[in-house]
Structure 1
């Protein structure tokens, strides 16, 4: 009687515990096996009779992709042998033990196996007898990257980092301003059922060959591309114009889970996202696949559109800053903040020393090799100014280290560079602190600025800038230009500390003539509401003055902006930019300075009607006051917590309505500390969030 396989068992949960994959929901319900490459797993096989080791042959076949090929690493055939141990650098299998007709087989996955869904087939045959019996295993088998394996390219040798950057499904995404960073809780949800199938669907959409899925560099570059929808109909559609009626506002998302659920169910890009949304879902994708990943926020982030290593700004004859070059030569901008990602891996494709953190960005800003993607760029190469190392390193270098070049319009209509402002961008680069719970304020913020750039004007900083300029001809031309040397009038724009929605604020500048001669100074003070990308939404106020200062004379100029001038003209982040521009007649000295600040919004309060208990309904009440004299439309409440992922459409809110209230009933399923984040957003007022932590009792 020929040997056949009666049944198999993949021990999904037992193997997953050893592979740090036991938190995946589909593993817990036994429907899927999720394993990591570079380590063994166990497979149970029940045969129809006792195995004759001298005559019977048992083979295990592993295949992935549409055309499995051994030469490309997408298929392998292993004869199960009786030996002491498996080889850890290739597909291998050995019998572990026998109990009558049942055998346990130890199977080794090589550390270079493609990260994909694999199919396993157990074959049996008789030596010298034609014919093979096949037993396909129906359970899907995901093979993931293994940062715990020293031979995997994504290996990370620190348990605290692994806990944070691979296993933590709850984190923080930083927004706000560099003077007042604000962190918002984000639920990554990488272990939810829809995530891994969605990622594989996205890889297929992107046309990523299955053999390339073994390389984390190519995988990370693909993730950067498929996160946005521009080229390959990917995960999230970006939108920045403030009109989100046909989708979900970027400000309503506080979790990746509902985004993946919508994508998986519709197979269409989810509307809408902005940079922090792209960053949040990239963390989800990478951690699900086993690539260590974190969200990174760069405050005052340059967007260089002409690859000059500078961010260029233009001031017209009226002394006002323009959003871009009038002739369309460049559309550079300085984002108040920009959020991207760091992923951890070795770089076998580069010289030694460029492994570790690599920057990738899912926000579609500029094309790279004809697609909207960015990275992976070695952070160490960015710091050194070695912009020809890796992918898109020059773009990331400019984001964190560009100088601001100021061009002024002449009476003849020409644009002349009048000033270079060094150290203008990359004011602060942060991520969530390792091992910390999500905390209020900035206690859980980690400053990683010096990983990306050297201290300004240090010898290392000067060398990095010199290296970068050396390989960019247009940058060489810009830095060779001479500037006016006469700058004998000192200026200072006073920062605005904190403004609450409904208060007036003052724009004030101090001027000091240090020359031995009188100086005539033309000053323009403006206030504009801006998007976080730096683009002007509305002009709020403009004040113009011309004063003559005697030698050593000091003078202060100011103007006030009333609530009625800005209340209904703010962007979603409530960011306002005040700008002072001054021209000194005779010496052609020109000075310009900005200050961005966020207007504080009303507090969203969350209260519970009782102590939460397992399987007992609990009512949460969310409330706030509408400070605006206009109605709020397209209102939603977003609620995110353990087993709760909801976006609820809400009624319109009346002008200046007090105690706007919504109630939601929860039924906790597990005891212990549980965190819930709630966000309110509307067309007129958004980004109102609060997070509560409650202890669920048995």
Structure 2
């Protein structure tokens, strides 16, 4: 609030949102299916400030030199970097969360279980400051937002769709497939359907006033920075302008929103052939919660100029020059359009997958592969199709379908190939991410191995949790909500549990068996104790699936 502060934010509405609001929205899903998830920050709950201050005292920075660490705690860029290293437990036995993206969670918590930060931070303290198990990117970001807001640093969550993880920092994300189109888990690069990080608002006297404003901080342990799993603060303006040599970790964040996407076929003899390059797919629909509402605001323009524009090409060449330095060659600086055609021969056909109807969890999925002959020549196309369940990081879990067919395409002709994935194929292999990736590797015969790769990621839609709220809710007066939930499967489900969370209070409700495709409802009564917005979250699990989410923001009026 003080204009001389490093974290001063002039707009009162923004201060209310980015410092004082205890409720948040996290955007997840993928670039074609963005979903909103509720999150309770609770930065002003009892003992939270003490927990946050203890976090600073347990950091490796403090242990290394307590006097210097304490003297720098008035510097938001220092505090933000320290907190980004403390939210994860990769380097520090006293970190807040351990990350886990695959395998069984056993007796620990599935990351999808969490609906807010307070219960995590309280558990961390109760367990004598040992890492809570487990978190994934949105959990790390949600907890970090709580801590930074608690310490008075304006902070928000940002979701980047088609987020690149470029391990070797060459601005290229390389993904590999076998000769039948099956995704291979080789190579360290990856593209996540979404990745969530934080932005905090403060000045950057170390860089100059032109880099003031939003700064990226990321607590998800992806890569080490100066020996620790920490990331940022990276100036959003520096990212947009390609100033990838500036502190801290600007190059890493730049690649998350700007890398090229390359696809390679790996043949049985080990040789590789590049069959696809997309220079525009990475860094889409970068999103955050609106000030004062639950709407989504697109902030992609904060991070980069429009794809294909002269400004974007200028910044890309600038970034390449800073990365490769004096070793840069003319090949490094050619336009992205030129590089996209490098080593890739045009097979003369186009293809795309289209869903015949919305994909619903528990039902068969029907896709149409649309192939078009772009030339006047007759073509015979061999099509190898593969489907796998995947995580939101796009790592394959299990191959569930494989099919091969051949299609004759006449001059300028198009044909449709139907592919059905029955529930019985995917049901037991689906994770809580509820994602399936389908690929088609299309080889034009007699063209010496020229291939077209078509792929699509499908997010299966859950049967909605429906929360009905009375028209008027008044403080200190009991209110009854109707919560309905459903079993979308063609079989009964047992061990049904509904978790209802209001602020930091959670009620676990054990429910009766649900029959196939059955919907049921309960009535939930509570008494709000303060006015203003109140977020209520619902989580439904059973023996066949878990953590179907719903939330509602309730406006509590004064008496």
**In the alignment, is the contact (CA less than 8 A) between 1:639 and 1:679 conserved in 2?**
yes
Instruction: Write 1 or 2 for the structure with the bigger share of helix.
Output: 2
> Does 673-682 or 555-564 show the bigger shift?
673-682
Once the two structures are superposed, residues 184-239 of structure 1 have per-residue CA deviations (whole angstroms, 9 ceiling, x without a partner) of: 12111111122211111111111331112121111111111111111113112222
> RMSD over aligned Cα, in angstroms?
2.9
Q: What are the equivalent positions in structure 2 for 1:409-558 lying under 5 Å apart?
A: 409-410=266-267, 412-436=269-293, 438=294, 444-473=295-324, 482-495=342-355, 498-558=358-418
> Which position in structure 1 is the counterpart of 2:130?
268
Once residues 572 and 345 of structure 1 are traced to their aligned partners in structure 2, the CA distance between those partners, rounded to angstroms, is 36
User: C-alpha displacement at 1:661, in angstroms?
Assistant: 6.0
Once the two structures are superposed, residues 38-65 of structure 1 have per-residue CA deviations (whole angstroms, 9 ceiling, x without a partner) of: xxxxxxxxxxxxxxxxxxxxxxxxxxxx
**In the alignment, is the contact (CA less than 8 A) between 1:236 and 1:272 conserved in 2?**
yes
Q: What are the equivalent positions in structure 2 for 1:269-668 lying under 5 Å apart?
A: 269-324=131-186, 330-410=187-267, 412-436=269-293, 438=294, 444-473=295-324, 482-495=342-355, 498-585=358-445, 586=447, 588-606=449-467, 622-628=483-489, 637-642=498-503, 644-646=504-506, 648=508, 650=510, 656=516, 658=518, 666-668=526-528
Once the two structures are superposed, residues 60-118 of structure 1 have per-residue CA deviations (whole angstroms, 9 ceiling, x without a partner) of: xxxxxxxxxxxxxxxxxxxxxxxxxxxxxxxxxxxxxxxxxxxxxxxxxxxxxxxxxxx
User: C-alpha displacement at 1:581, in angstroms?
Assistant: 2.2
Q: For the structure 1 residues 552 and 253, does the alpha-carbon distance in structure 2 shift closer, same or farther, using more than 3 Å as the test? A: same
Once residues 162 and 524 of structure 1 are traced to their aligned partners in structure 2, the CA distance between those partners, rounded to angstroms, is 54
Q: Secondary structure of the equivalent of 2:191?
A: strand
User: C-alpha displacement at 1:553, in angstroms?
Assistant: 2.8
**In the alignment, is the contact (CA less than 8 A) between 1:531 and 1:575 conserved in 2?**
yes
Q: Secondary structure of the equivalent of 2:105?
A: coil
Once residues 282 and 334 of structure 1 are traced to their aligned partners in structure 2, the CA distance between those partners, rounded to angstroms, is 23
> Which position in structure 2 is the counterpart of 1:161?
14
Unmatched runs of 5 consecutive residues or more in structure 2:
63-68
User: C-alpha displacement at 1:487, in angstroms?
Assistant: 4.2
> Which position in structure 1 is the counterpart of 2:43?
190
> Which position in structure 2 is the counterpart of 1:139?
none
**In the alignment, is the contact (CA less than 8 A) between 2:234 and 2:248 conserved in 1?**
yes
Q: For the structure 1 residues 490 and 674, does the alpha-carbon distance in structure 2 shift closer, same or farther, using more than 3 Å as the test? A: closer
User: C-alpha displacement at 1:605, in angstroms?
Assistant: 3.6
Once the two structures are superposed, residues 520-548 of structure 1 have per-residue CA deviations (whole angstroms, 9 ceiling, x without a partner) of: 32222222221111111222222212334
**In the alignment, is the contact (CA less than 8 A) between 1:610 and 1:618 conserved in 2?**
no
Q: Secondary structure of the equivalent of 1:500?
A: coil
User: C-alpha displacement at 1:652, in angstroms?
Assistant: 8.7
User: C-alpha displacement at 1:450, in angstroms?
Assistant: 1.0
**In the alignment, is the contact (CA less than 8 A) between 2:498 and 2:511 conserved in 1?**
no
Once residues 241 and 459 of structure 2 are traced to their aligned partners in structure 1, the CA distance between those partners, rounded to angstroms, is 33
**In the alignment, is the contact (CA less than 8 A) between 2:354 and 2:369 conserved in 1?**
yes
> Which position in structure 1 is the counterpart of 2:91?
231
**What is the TM-score normalised by the length of structure 2?**
0.88
Once residues 554 and 607 of structure 1 are traced to their aligned partners in structure 2, the CA distance between those partners, rounded to angstroms, is 48
> Does 563-572 or 485-494 show the bigger shift?
485-494
Once the two structures are superposed, residues 13-35 of structure 1 have per-residue CA deviations (whole angstroms, 9 ceiling, x without a partner) of: xxxxxxxxxxxxxxxxxxxxxxx
User: C-alpha displacement at 1:402, in angstroms?
Assistant: 1.0
**In the alignment, is the contact (CA less than 8 A) between 2:491 and 2:517 conserved in 1?**
no
Q: For the structure 1 residues 539 and 619, does the alpha-carbon distance in structure 2 shift closer, same or farther, using more than 3 Å as the test? A: same
Once residues 224 and 673 of structure 1 are traced to their aligned partners in structure 2, the CA distance between those partners, rounded to angstroms, is 29
Once residues 382 and 462 of structure 1 are traced to their aligned partners in structure 2, the CA distance between those partners, rounded to angstroms, is 14
Unmatched runs of 5 consecutive residues or more in structure 1:
1-147, 325-329, 439-443
Once residues 674 and 607 of structure 1 are traced to their aligned partners in structure 2, the CA distance between those partners, rounded to angstroms, is 14
Q: Secondary structure of the equivalent of 1:331?
A: coil
**In the alignment, is the contact (CA less than 8 A) between 2:475 and 2:556 conserved in 1?**
no
Once residues 663 and 186 of structure 1 are traced to their aligned partners in structure 2, the CA distance between those partners, rounded to angstroms, is 23
> Does 366-375 or 510-519 show the bigger shift?
510-519
Question: Which structure is larger by alpha-carbon Rg, 1 or 2?
Answer: 1
**What is the TM-score normalised by the length of structure 1?**
0.71
User: C-alpha displacement at 1:446, in angstroms?
Assistant: 0.2
User: C-alpha displacement at 1:295, in angstroms?
Assistant: 0.4
Once the two structures are superposed, residues 325-383 of structure 1 have per-residue CA deviations (whole angstroms, 9 ceiling, x without a partner) of: xxxxx321111111111111111111342121111111111111121111111111211
User: C-alpha displacement at 1:623, in angstroms?
Assistant: 4.1
